[in-house]
């Protein structure tokens, strides 16, 4: 149970593939002009991630380590092909808007990194969960970035036009890099604030104070102890 919690936290927050590991930047930068694209791409990657992780994990004792990378790519390519055919038939609009980036999932470094770094060393259930939560982290980041850029660049959100005011900079590729940097910065800032809070809480526990004790109270207590 603890493992599962750790996998979930890893996938979405502590090693979020986009905002923390900075993997898969190509679809991140190119596709986040619209929030809907972010969701579509995120779900597509999640599907491939789960399937490839399960298969890699199943075959992890069969694949010789010298040829593991081509084998992983073969597995991933299989699922991407399945996905492409499915999307082409079921959701032609999404298929058209994702365009070139759908076949490029084959060489998406998130999927390869998880196959190499996680699935080839762990049992099936954990691998599937890792794929799921990594996919959720990816989708979350892409959707958020897409919504931000769509709101400022097109004055709309999920295709619903809110106002006429547009800053087209955010729709351009320069705006993509800017937004990406901004999101990484804000994400790191939030993470460091949470870590600081946790540290203070730990100190409070150590000094046998209430968990909500402030830094001043802890300092006063420490001085009193001395």
Q: Nearer Cβ to other proteins, position 168 or 202?
A: 168
Query: Do residues 76 and 59 touch, judged by C-beta distance below 8 A?
Result: no
**Of 81 and 173, which CB lies nearer to other proteins in the complex structure?**
173
Q: Mark the segment that binds other proteins (CB under 8 A) among 17-25, 42-50, 110-118, 164-172.
A: 164-172
Residue 177 is a binding residue for other proteins (CB under 8 A):
no
- Taking CB under 8 A as the criterion, the residue among 84, 178, 200, 218 binding other proteins is 178
Phi-psi region of 35 (alpha: psi -120 to 50; beta: other; left: phi over 0): alpha
| Residue of 162, 174, 206, 215 that binds other proteins (CB under 8 A) | 174
Closest CA relative to residue 120, chosen from 175, 164, 67, 190: 67
- C-alpha 124/C-alpha 199 separation (Å) is 35
| Per CB under 8 A, 158 contacts other proteins | no
Q: Are strands 160-161 and 156-157 parallel, antiparallel or unpaired?
A: antiparallel
Q: Is 169 in the site for other proteins (CB under 8 A)?
A: yes
Give, as one character, the DSSP assignment of residue 12.
Answer: I
Residue 127: both structure tokens together: 């691998």
151 lies in the binding site for other proteins (CB under 8 A): no
Smallest CA-to-CA distance from 179 within 30, 42, 45, 11 is with: 30
Considering the rule CB under 8 A, would residue 196 count as an interface residue with other proteins?
no
Instruction: Name the one range near other proteins by CB under 8 A: 33-41, 100-108, 171-179, 210-218.
Output: 171-179
* Closer CB to other proteins, 172 or 201, in the complex: 172
Q: How far is the CB of 180 from other proteins (least distance, A)?
A: 13
Quote the strand ranges of 94-195, DSSP E: 156-157, 160-161
- Applying CB under 8 A, the residues found at the interface with other proteins are 166-170, 172, 174, 178
């Amino acid at each position: 149970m603890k493992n599962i919690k750790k996998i979930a936290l890893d996938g979405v927050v502590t090693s979020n593939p986009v905002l923390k590991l900075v993997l898969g930047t190509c679809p991140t930068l190119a596709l986040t002009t619209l929030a809907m694209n972010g969701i579509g791409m995120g779900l597509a990657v999640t599907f491939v991630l789960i399937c490839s992780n399960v298969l890699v994990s199943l075959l992890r004792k069969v694949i010789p380590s010298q040829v593991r990378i081509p084998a992983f790519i073969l597995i991933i390519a299989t699922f991407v092909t399945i996905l492409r055919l499915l999307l082409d038939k079921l959701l032609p609009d999404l298929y058209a808007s994702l365009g070139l980036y759908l076949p490029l999932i084959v060489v998406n470094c998130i999927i390869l990194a998880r196959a190499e770094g996680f699935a080839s060393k762990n049992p099936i259930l954990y691998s599937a969960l890792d794929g799921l939560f990594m996919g959720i982290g990816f989708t979350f980041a892409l959707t958020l970035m897409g919504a931000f850029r769509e709101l400022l660049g097109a004055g709309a959100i999920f295709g619903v036009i809110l106002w006429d005011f547009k800053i087209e900079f955010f729709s351009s590729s320069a705006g993509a890099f800017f937004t990406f940097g901004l999101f990484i910065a804000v994400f790191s800032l939030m993470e460091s604030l949470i870590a600081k809070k946790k540290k203070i809480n730990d100190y409070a526990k150590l000094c046998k104070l209430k968990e909500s004790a402030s830094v001043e109270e802890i300092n006063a207590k420490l001085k009193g102890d001395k």
